[in-house]
Every structure is written in structure tokens, then in C-alpha cells.
Structure 1
Amino acid sequence: MAVCLGLLLSAPGTAVAAPAPPPPPPGAVDDNGARGGATAGDGAPADVARLEDVRLRLDGLYREAARATDAFNAAEEVATTQAATIADLHERIELGQRRLERLKDRAGAAARAHYRSGGLPPGIRLTLSDDPANFLDGVERTMTDQRALHTLITRLGRTQETLRTHAANAVSHQEELTEARAEKDAARKEIRRKLAAAEELEESLAAEERARLRELEEGSQRDAQEAWLGSRAPEDGGARPGDQAAAAIAYATEQLGLPYEWGAEGPRSFDCSGLTQQAWAAAGVTVPRTSQEQWRTLRRVSEAELRPGDLIIYHADASHVGLYTGKGSIIHAPRPGRTVTVAGAGSMPILGVVRPGG
């Protein structure tokens, strides 16, 4: 799911007496064996700009990985559904085949009985009878046999047609399953590619640079949260969540500290929508697997109506989600390398709010 590394970084620059030489690229090693780049304490404009560029690149990579994660989760859900449907169809086909065999056995028995009677049509056999009682009895049996034979033939035809329909549906669902699995594989490769690029970029930074980047990220998130609290934050005060919302919040709270893992929905790791889905499942409410589907299908409410238990959807592409716990906070699974944590509800760009469970 989507990841937010924060809003644009900003830090005041310091004046320098003379132009400084351009910094070496991230990860470069100078003649003294030291890595090039800014340290946590220098704050030179060029260094801040370079870290800002790194932050933007990382943000882009994690966002792309998040979108691919949503695609993976959606394809996995389709594949799971199609596989279950195919299994059900195969079971129906097997039952239908057994029924067809029984009907064929009955038809064969009728044919053998007809052969044993000499193969004469029932009407001819009746006219040859000299006993009126036998004649009338024969008429009744003939009509009954004809109705039974007609019913048997009809059942055979319907069973064969049902089998043909089930077989065609199985083929169709198999094609959809194959397509979903191909989409899963493509999304998996895309996720791994983007995360590998992000990891390589982060590892190219010196430890001091990574610390500085984290400080700037957290600072910008605090600024965004304060701005949100001062403008659009809901006045939920000490509002108590309903029973279902309280159960969802309790579940999410128990997961604090567990690692983020793309495509995971517990019990030992989560991605963002996997966490919100399972939290509400613990409350007895089914919500879609992906943040995009949660945004598309669940009832939307305004930020002013925000209450504990609601899901806040982030970014224009609905690629991240957090569970609102009240008093301006959410619990969410941020991104790879991070753990399930508490964050400010306004620390990321809010797309909107949805409410599970009515």
C-alpha cells in the first residue's frame, strides 16, 4: 500500500564566505576514506537541496511500490475468488457426471425392457390383447411408461446442458485466474524492483545523512499535522467510539510495533490496508482488501464528521489508509522498513474519509 515519507522538506540554509566545491555524489568515498555528502549538523543549502532530491526520489519509489502493492492485492483477491469458483464448478461437474451416469443406466434399463418385449410399440401390443381388463391396464401402464420415459429424456438433456454450461464457465474462470496470476506476478516484480531501488538509494547515504533525512521527514510531518489541527481537524474531543469501532481500534493497537510487509494482512506483519481490513474484521465488519477499494466502496463522510474508527484515505490515488483513533491520531502501517505506529492524522495529504459498518 501507499507510503508517505512526509511533505516537502525544508530547512534554513547558512551563509558561507566563499563558494564551496560541489559535494561528491551520495556514497562516494574521498581520499580520507570518508563518504561524501552532508552530515546531520552542517545544513548547507546545497546539502539540504541534495537531501530534498533524495527524499523526493525515495517518496516516488515508495509511492510506485505502494500502487503496485494495491495492484498485487487486488489481483490476489481476484485469483482467490476465481480459484474457489473453479473448485466449486469442478465439484458441480463431478456431481452432474454421476447423475448423468445414473440417468443413462435408467435409460439403458428401459431400452432392455423394450427389447425383451419384442420391440413392439405399446399401441400394437395393446391391440393384440384379448382381455379387456389387460387392455385397460396396459393402456395405463403405457401412459405411465411414456411419461416416465419423457421425464427421463428431459432430465438427461437438462443434465447434459448443465454440464456443458459448467464446463464453459470453468474455462472462462480459468482464463480469468490465469490473467489474475499474471497480473500478480507483474505487480510482484514491480514492487521488488521499486523497493530494491529505494533500498539502494538509502544505502548510498552516510549514516548521518539518513539520520538527517529522518529528522527532516518527521519535522515536516509535525508541521503538516499542526496545520491540519489548526484548520480542518474534527472536533471529536473525547468522543467515545461505538462498540465495533472500539473493537477495530483495540485490534490495531495490539499490532503496534509489528513490521510493514507489502501484501501482508497479519498476523505477524501488515501493509496499510491489510491492517485496516483485519482491524474491522475483528469487529465483525467486512471491508475491501485494498485502500483504493475501501475508498471506492465504503460510505464517505466529511473530515468535519470524522470519528474514531473511520478510515482516512491518503494521496490522490487513494494508495494509503490509516485507522482514526480520535484526538487527531491514526494507527497505520507506513512503509517497508517501518512498523505499525501511531501518527498524526493530518501528517499526510488526505484524500477523504470513509466509514465502515454504517
Structure 2
Amino acid sequence: MSVHRRPPLPGVQRLACALALTAAATGALGLTVGAAAAAPLAPADPSTRGEVKAQVDQLYEEAEQASEKYNAAQEQQKRLQGEAGSLQNQVAAGQDELNRMRGDLAAVAAAQYRAQGLDPSVRLMLDNDPAGYLAGARSLDQATARQNDALRELSDRQRRLDQRRQEATAKLAELEEVRQHLAAAKDEVRERLGRAQRLLNGLAPAERARMAADDARDAQQRATRGTDRLDLGNQPPSSDRAAAALAAAISKIGSPYVYGSTGPRTFDCSGLMYWSWRQAGVTLPRTSQEQATAGRRVSLAEARPGDLVIFYKDMHHVGMYAGGGVVVHAPYPGARVRYESVSAMPVSSVVRV
């Protein structure tokens, strides 16, 4: 397929194999759904195949929503693990310092007790050097004042240590809650993909292949507006880095969608944006919802190649604007990275990184 007004971009020819139909996604999830899971039925008529496709598409969208929840929980888990580890290290170091200070104070107190065993007036009378004794007494008073300061510092350190312990305990509890959310999101993805695979297994192999071909053709027509050429226009990217990120994303056309993946061979929607911008030297947030705040918002009419296009009200999907009303994105589980018309999904916002 040729490109009008812009040199051909790599990967366009691979749109014909746009769907791998959950093979990569179910492999990443560890699903064991195969031919034995459901015996193929007789070839379905187009209306039945259409109904199956509609249900599978819905399940894929729900799986992608759960996938972004999973990504968010994973990122939060990493952050909390780092914060909890830092707090625990602070508690351990603080406890060591506290123990050292207590040991020093105990030694000073013992020395003072031994030195003050006699009444000071008796010691003055018995001392061969009264002037020296008086000077020593003044030094002792100064030492006592320093000891009192040390006791106050010890008390403050104990208070701060107790506070750090409470923070570490709360952080660990929060981490456990996030782990539960992570497991729930993973189970939700598994469940949606499993249901989709069971629906597909209910079709004969020829029907599944026809669905894949139909989806590829539909995506190609949306991207090319029904012509045989992909017109990305001639508008330049917003920056050199945006150009590099777009080139990276385009180089991955044909790569399978796998939830939770950030490349370099498989991607989910936000993972493709994350990897592509990393190739341009920019680290984006991990999820589509966070990427929606990763730069300056512009209108869709102002979109330039390399901009992030956030889709749906809950912002669970993201693609990269390639020009001419077309995005490059990782569509959903079972599909491959491809070009798509920006109008194929409801746009929530456009972000210029």
C-alpha cells in the first residue's frame, strides 16, 4: 500500500495479518485454552460470526481496561516497595544510632556516679589541689549540661524513630492492598480473555480466519479512508524527539499485543507509547491514564505527528498520532500493532509530550 504525500512508512504491508486472535495474549497469561476446550462447530453464517465478533470485541475492550488497571497497580507496587524499603532502612539506621547514644550516655552516667560518690565540700577539703578541683567541678557542670542536651536529642530521635516505624507499617499495609488489587486485575484479564477464546473456539478454523481477515481489512480501510493508499499528510512532528518516537512506534507495526508488555517484541497500548518514547530519550508514565497528563494538551485539530491520542472517557486506551487523521497503536489482546483512523474510537484528549 503506497502513501500519498509522504514516503511509504515501514510495516503498512503487514496490516493484512492484523490479528493473532489471543494466541500471544493467552500465552502471556498462562491460559491453556486450545482446541480441546471447545469442539469447533459447523461453519457459522455471517450473522452468527458477527455476533461472536461483537462479543469478542467487547471482551477484548474489557480485558484492555483491566490490563491498564493491572499496569497501574504494578507501578504503584514498585513505588510502594521502594518507599517501604527506604523507611525500613531508616528505621534500622535510626535504631543503631539510638543504641549508640544510649550506650554513650550510660557510660557518662556511670563515670559521674563514681566521681560524685563523696560530698563536694568534703572532696574540696581533702583535695590536694582545691583550685584544680573547682576547675574540674565547672567542667563536670558543663558535661552535665551536654548530657542533658544529649538526653533531649535522644528523646527526639526516639520520637522520630517511632514515627518512621508507623509510616513503614502503614506503607506495608498499603502495599499489601495494592498486591490484592494487582491479583484481582490479573484475574479479570484472564477471565475476559478466557471467555473470548472460548467464543472463538466455538467457530470453525475457517470462520476464525475469516474474522481475522475481516478485521484486518476493516482496519486498513479505516486508516486509508477506503482507498488503497495511506495518506499521512505532510505535517511535521512537533519536535525531533516526537519524530524519533513516531519512527520507533511505526517500526513495531505487526508486533503482537500482550497485556502488561512494554516491548521490545510485544506491547500493550500504553506499553507501545512508553517504549517508543524511551527510544527518543523520554520516559513516559506507564499507564494511559497517567500518560494523559504527561504533556501539554492540544485539540485534535492541532494534533501533530508524535502526539499521544487518549481514547475513551476512562482513558483506558492510547495511540500515537501519525498524521492525516491516523494513529499507530496496539489495539487490543489478539491484535497487532497497526495504523487506525483516529475516528475509530472516541477521543478523550491529545497530549503533546
What TM bracket, shorter-length normalisation?
A: 0.7 to 0.9
For residues 40-98 of structure 1, give each alpha carbon's deviation from its aligned partner in whole angstroms, at most 9, with x where no partner exists: xxxxxxx3x33332222111101111111111111111111111111111111111121
Say what the alpha-carbon RMSD is for the aligned residues.
3.1
Q: CA deviation at 1:155?
A: 2.2
Q: CA deviation at 1:266?
A: 2.2
Structure 2 CA distance for partners of 1:228 and 1:37, relative to 1, 3 Å: closer
Which of the pair is proportionally richer in helix? 2
- Measured in 2, the distance between the counterparts of 1:251 and 1:306 equals 18
Verify the 8 A CA contact 1:328 1:344 in the aligned structure 2: yes
Structure 2 CA distance for partners of 1:199 and 1:126, relative to 1, 3 Å: farther
Structure 2 CA distance for partners of 1:60 and 1:86, relative to 1, 3 Å: same
Structure 2 CA distance for partners of 1:235 and 1:332, relative to 1, 3 Å: closer
1:94-113 aligned at under 5 Å gives the runs 94-113=92-111
Verify the 8 A CA contact 1:265 1:271 in the aligned structure 2: yes
- Measured in 2, the distance between the counterparts of 1:125 and 1:253 equals 91
1:311 alignment counterpart: 308
1:333 alignment counterpart: 330
Give the letter for the 2:287 counterpart: T
> Structure 1: any 5+ residue segments left out of the alignment?
7-25, 30-34, 39-46
Task: Pick from 77, 80, 89 the counterpart of residue 79 of structure 1.
Answer: 77
1:259 alignment counterpart: 256
For residues 178-214 of structure 1, give each alpha carbon's deviation from its aligned partner in whole angstroms, at most 9, with x where no partner exists: 0000001011111001001111111212233234433
2:184 alignment counterpart: 186
Percent identical residues: 37
Verify the 8 A CA contact 2:219 2:339 in the aligned structure 1: no
1:228-267 aligned at under 5 Å gives the runs 237-267=234-264
Q: CA deviation at 1:343?
A: 3.2
Verify the 8 A CA contact 1:221 1:348 in the aligned structure 2: no
Q: CA deviation at 1:272?
A: 0.8
- Measured in 2, the distance between the counterparts of 1:291 and 1:264 equals 13
Q: CA deviation at 1:223?
A: 5.5
2:86 alignment counterpart: 88
Give SS of 1:346's match: helix
Give SS of 1:308's match: coil
Verify the 8 A CA contact 2:300 2:350 in the aligned structure 1: yes
For residues 6-27 of structure 1, give each alpha carbon's deviation from its aligned partner in whole angstroms, at most 9, with x where no partner exists: 9xxxxxxxxxxxxxxxxxxx97
1:70 alignment counterpart: 68
Give the letter for the 1:100 counterpart: L
TM-score, normalization by structure 2: 0.79
Q: CA deviation at 1:102?
A: 1.1
Structure 2 CA distance for partners of 1:264 and 1:119, relative to 1, 3 Å: farther
Verify the 8 A CA contact 2:321 2:327 in the aligned structure 1: yes
Verify the 8 A CA contact 2:40 2:201 in the aligned structure 1: no
Q: CA deviation at 1:137?
A: 1.5
1:37 alignment counterpart: 44
Residues paired across the two proteins, number = 315
Structure 2 CA distance for partners of 1:235 and 1:69, relative to 1, 3 Å: closer
Q: CA deviation at 1:220?
A: 4.3
Corresponding position: 1:351 with 2:348: yes
Give the letter for the 1:108 counterpart: A
Verify the 8 A CA contact 2:70 2:182 in the aligned structure 1: yes
Higher relative contact order (CA 8 A, sep 6+): 2
1:22 alignment counterpart: none
- Measured in 2, the distance between the counterparts of 1:65 and 1:301 equals 29
TM-score, normalization by structure 1: 0.78
Verify the 8 A CA contact 1:264 1:274 in the aligned structure 2: yes
Task: Pick from 54, 57, 63 the counterpart of residue 55 of structure 2.
Answer: 57
2:290 alignment counterpart: 293
Structure 2 CA distance for partners of 1:347 and 1:136, relative to 1, 3 Å: same
For residues 143-182 of structure 1, give each alpha carbon's deviation from its aligned partner in whole angstroms, at most 9, with x where no partner exists: 3202310221122112211221111111101111100000
Corresponding position: 1:278 with 2:270: no
Give the letter for the 1:323 counterpart: M
> Structure 2: any 5+ residue segments left out of the alignment?
1-17, 20-37
1:166-245 aligned at under 5 Å gives the runs 166-221=164-219, 224-225=222-223, 237-245=234-242
1:44 alignment counterpart: none
Verify the 8 A CA contact 1:37 1:206 in the aligned structure 2: yes
Q: CA deviation at 1:120?
A: 5.6
Give SS of 1:259's match: coil
Task: Pick from 291, 295, 299 the counterpart of residue 302 of structure 1.
Answer: 299
Name whichever of 273-282 and 74-83 sits farther off.
Answer: 273-282
Verify the 8 A CA contact 1:224 1:348 in the aligned structure 2: no
